[in-house]
């Protein structure tokens, strides 16, 4: 029997190597790089549920987990405006090239806020790996397990999941601390750009966890 020639694995050029992907633009401290993306689901009546997590790539915290029938550029801006007030502005925010994220009004507002945008290569979701990983876990642990009766119930359960993820779920990449515990350590070591009010809250979280 003729033995087929050995097949060598093929390298796909450019995979994960985009200038704005996580490989070349890695977060180095809290509030350095945030990322966001969308996940789609539905409520019991079949109506669309659109979910938008915002993740701090360094601490792995889910900063916001919005659920709505529709999330457009205005709603994205409103969410970011609230987070900027609560936590301060990040240096960069990473996303794909979806119309909600590349809308001129949003880009102009981010520029005025001093936040630079990192748009990943089209068709390369792995370059937005932190958002993709969070969404994958959320889908396995929440979206695939819960049947949301209505939008309000979905919003309540999404917020419960966000709090559980931040405060009760150890993360291997963080030395098996929760994202909130890791963020608190960064605050105590003086490496964080989180406002003082947030620092006090995070220090309390850390003390309770020790």
Please compute the mean of the pLDDT values over residues 110-122 and round it to a whole number.
96
pLDDT at 39: 98
pLDDT at 210: 34
Please compute the mean of the pLDDT values over residues 114-118 and round it to a whole number.
97
Cα–Cα dist 97/121, whole Å: 8
Query: Three-class SS of residue 71?
Result: coil
Cα–Cα dist 168/175, whole Å: 14
pLDDT digits (tens, 9 = 90+) for 130-185: 999 999 999 999 999 999 999 999 999 999 999 999 999 999 989 999 999 999 99
pLDDT at 181: 96
C-alpha torsion sign, points 59, 169, 133, 157? negative
Cα–Cα dist 44/113, whole Å: 39
Cα–Cα dist 84/63, whole Å: 11
Please compute the mean of the pLDDT values over residues 174-197 and round it to a whole number.
76
Burial code (b: 16+ CB inside 10 Å, e: under 16) for 36-75 equals bbbbebebeeeeebbbbbbbbbbbbbbbbbbbeeebebee
8 A C-beta contact, residue 191 and residue 184 = no
Of 13-17, 95-99, 184-188, 193-197, where does the model show the most confidence?
95-99
Closest alpha carbon to 14 in 159, 132, 126, 156: 126
| Average pLDDT value for the chain | 86
pLDDT at 2: 52
pLDDT at 44: 96
pLDDT at 203: 44
Backbone angles phi, psi at 65, to 5 degrees: -140, 85
18-27, 87-96, 130-139, 166-175, range with the lowest pLDDT: 18-27
pLDDT at 78: 98
In angstroms, the first-to-last Cα distance of the chain is 65
pLDDT digits (tens, 9 = 90+) for 45-70: 999 999 999 999 999 999 999 999 99
pLDDT at 4: 52
Please compute the mean of the pLDDT values over residues 4-25 and round it to a whole number.
55
Say what the pTM is: 0.81
Non-local (6+) Cβ contacts of 19 within 8 A are 25
């Amino acid at each position: 029997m003729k033995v087929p020639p050995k097949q060598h694995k093929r390298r796909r050029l450019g995979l994960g190597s985009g200038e704005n992907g996580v490989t070349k633009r890695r977060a180095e401290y809290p509030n350095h790089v945030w990322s966001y993306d969308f996940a789609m689901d539905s409520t019991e009546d079949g109506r669309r549920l659109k979910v938008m997590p915002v993740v701090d790539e360094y601490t792995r915290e889910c900063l916001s987990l919005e659920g709505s029938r529709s999330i457009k550029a205005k709603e994205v801006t409103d969410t970011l405006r609230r987070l900027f007030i609560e936590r301060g502005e990040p240096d960069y925010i990473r996303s794909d090239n979806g119309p909600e994220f590349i809308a001129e009004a949003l880009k102009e507002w981010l520029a005025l806020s001093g936040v630079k945008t990192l748009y990943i290569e089209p068709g390369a979701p792995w370059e937005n790996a932190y958002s993709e990983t969070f969404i994958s876990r959320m889908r396995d642990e929440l979206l695939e397990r819960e049947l949301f009766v209505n939008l309000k119930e979905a919003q309540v359960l999404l917020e419960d999941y966000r709090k559980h993820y931040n405060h009760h779920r150890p993360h291997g990449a963080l030395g098996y601390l929760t994202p909130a515990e890791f963020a608190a350590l960064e605050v105590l070591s003086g490496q964080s750009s989180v406002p003082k009010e947030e620092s006090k809250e995070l220090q309390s979280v850390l003390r309770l966890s020790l």
